[in-house]
């Protein structure tokens, strides 16, 4: 099972490297959204510092949503998804590998670039540190929850709108707790409660969503 997990993980990473243009789109979108906000609302430092956590997290959420379709769509088109469904390996384990691969491709760059953009927006050092931890905890949740939405809509020709309607409401708790944590850190208040909630969401999503996505894929493909 471990070998199958590593093979799926390696395969998705290699495919992403071969399609560098598609790989860069979510990251460029994330950077552009954050950079354009000061141009639209003004460059006043106090305002930018106040709304910086929300700006960065909304941009991260939208960039994750932009790249979700690639989790299963290419596998559906080339027939490898059916092979995974009929394989002897647990489908939930293979889906977990695809979730981790998606996070490495799209979420990890956001985790690394997000603090730099927060510095550009004038966020305090405490806020930047907390922002890094919230991105590290929250972006895998976006990939995990998104995998269920993609699994439900993979059989639809134009499932992008349906996918957004399914996934966005489930992303709201991550956005709320992450923004609260960064705001609290910037104001000098404790951040243990929202960080703990994000950690719980991460554990629950990685534990439950592979099973849910597996069941959804079996319904969508059959």
Chain centre to alpha carbon of residue 221 = 24
Count of domains forming the chain: 1
Q: Determine the structural domain holding residue 47 and report its residue range.
A: 2-221
Residue for token pair 């990890």: 108
82-133 pLDDT tens trace? 777 777 788 888 899 999 999 998 899 999 999 999 988 888 888 999 999 9
Residues 6+ apart with CB under 8 A from 130: 181, 182, 184, 185, 186, 191, 195
128-152 pLDDT tens trace? 999 999 999 999 999 999 999 888 8
pTM reported for the whole predicted model: 0.90
């Amino acid at each position: 099972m471990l070998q199958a997990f590593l093979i799926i993980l390696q395969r998705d990473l290699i495919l992403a490297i071969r399609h560098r243009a598609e790989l860069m789109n979510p990251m460029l979108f994330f950077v552009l959204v954050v950079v354009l906000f000061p141009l639209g609302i003004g460059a006043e430092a106090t305002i930018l510092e106040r709304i910086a956590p929300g700006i960065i997290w909304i941009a991260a959420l939208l960039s994750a949503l932009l790249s979700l379709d690639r989790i299963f769509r290419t596998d559906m088109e080339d027939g490898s998804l059916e092979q995974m469904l009929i394989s002897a390996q647990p489908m939930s384990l293979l889906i977990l590998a695809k979730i981790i691969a998606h996070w490495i491709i799209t979420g990890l760059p956001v985790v690394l670039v997000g603090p730099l953009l927060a510095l550009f927006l004038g966020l305090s050092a405490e806020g930047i540190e907390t922002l890094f931890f919230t991105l590290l905890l929250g972006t895998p949740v976006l990939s995990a929850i998104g995998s269920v939405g993609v699994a439900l809509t993979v059989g639809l020709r134009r499932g992008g709108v349906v996918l957004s309607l399914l996934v966005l409401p489930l992303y709201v708790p991550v956005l709320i707790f992450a923004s609260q944590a960064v705001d609290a850190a910037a104001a000098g208040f404790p951040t243990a409660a929202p960080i703990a909630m994000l950690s719980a969401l991460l554990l629950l999503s990685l534990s439950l969503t592979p099973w849910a996505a597996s069941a959804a894929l079996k319904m969508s493909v059959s």
